[in-house]
Amino acid sequence: MRNSLARSTAAAVGLLVTMSTGHAAASSIVFPVNAQAQVQAVTNIDGTTAPTAATQSVSLAPGPTTTASVTGTSGAAHASVDMTTGQLKVDATSTKGFTATAIGWEFITFSGSAAVDFALAVDGSLSNTVGGGMVYVEPSVRIYDVTSWSNYFASLGDTQYVAYNGAGSPFPFVAGSAWDIEAVRGATSGGCTIYGIPSADCTVNSSGTVFPVDMSLRGTLNAVANQIYLVELQLSTATYNQQLSLVPQVSDFSHTATFGFTNLNGLTFQSSSGQFLAAEVPVPEPGTLTLVGLGMVAAATRRRARRSS
């Protein structure tokens, strides 16, 4: 598994200071009326039948937050989005195959032109119990330059929306992106090959071993002043199950995937909701927390020593 996103104490403090001023008005930019924050959560716990109210839950909402949850005889799944913190969560347990997807979109503009760095830290676990099955997680960040767009979203069926400019594929408009995938498959499953998942990202196991997933996606956006950008955050998980089993496959990313700008290079930004990353709080690495704890113990020891003397 990959190394986690580094967050030393100095970096955490630096990010906190940067983000505290990172939401000021960038300029006199006025977002188009139909350019507003939007979030979607989709859960499904039965991949063998057409979705029903009993097996699927969908939430598509304007604004920065939403959640979806479904529980049935074949399992349970949850998905949520909070663009005020940059956090996406998905988790599911199912014996018939499942999907859980959290997507958030936010429109932003920057106060000037510079290279802006961003990251998405993903923490969770995967467990496969089916020889002919597979479970995977797929996080991604895409930032589109939508300054010339008149349409922003399109439906793929009734339950999935994507960024779309109304005149063909939006991908030529991607100004910055980061993507990765991790999977666990059974020995008799061709799932990784079928889905084009690289072998280096695919662990073979069907004994139910819980594999921790710790991924750090990083990217850079060459921001241009007065351009409008659409930030698309997505966290998806699913199972591919050839052998319907009474023993569930499990994906747990309720620990969250967290997005943030790691270097604004002196710029500030504003968002269409005015809430994007407004509640972001940097989290130190476990090692940093250990050092803080040791420092507190040492201070307490010194205080006791002074009292005894």
pTM (2 decimals)?
A: 0.82
Neighbours of 284 (CB within 10 A): 16
What is the predicted pLDDT for the residue at 137?
95
CA 90 to chain CA mean position, Å: 9
DSSP designation for 84:
T
Q: Which residues of the chain have pLDDT under 70?
A: 1-28, 158-159, 169, 242-243, 246, 281-309
Using one digit for the tens of pLDDT, what is the confidence trace for 200-251?
999 999 999 999 999 999 999 999 999 999 999 999 998 887 667 767 888 9
Q: Is 196 exposed, middle or buried (0-12, 13-18, 19+ CB in 10 A)?
A: exposed
Residues 6+ apart with CB under 8 A from 186: 128, 130, 131, 132, 133, 134, 204, 205, 206
Backbone angles phi, psi at 64, to 5 degrees: -95, -5
Total count of residues recorded for the chain: 309
Q: Closest Cα to residue 101, out of 52, 174, 160?
A: 160
- DSSP bridge partners of 239: 135
Q: What is the pLDDT of residue 96?
A: 87
Which residues are within 8 A (CB) of 40 and not within 5 positions of it... i.e. 6 or more apart?
58, 59, 60, 61, 66, 81, 101, 102, 103, 104, 160, 161
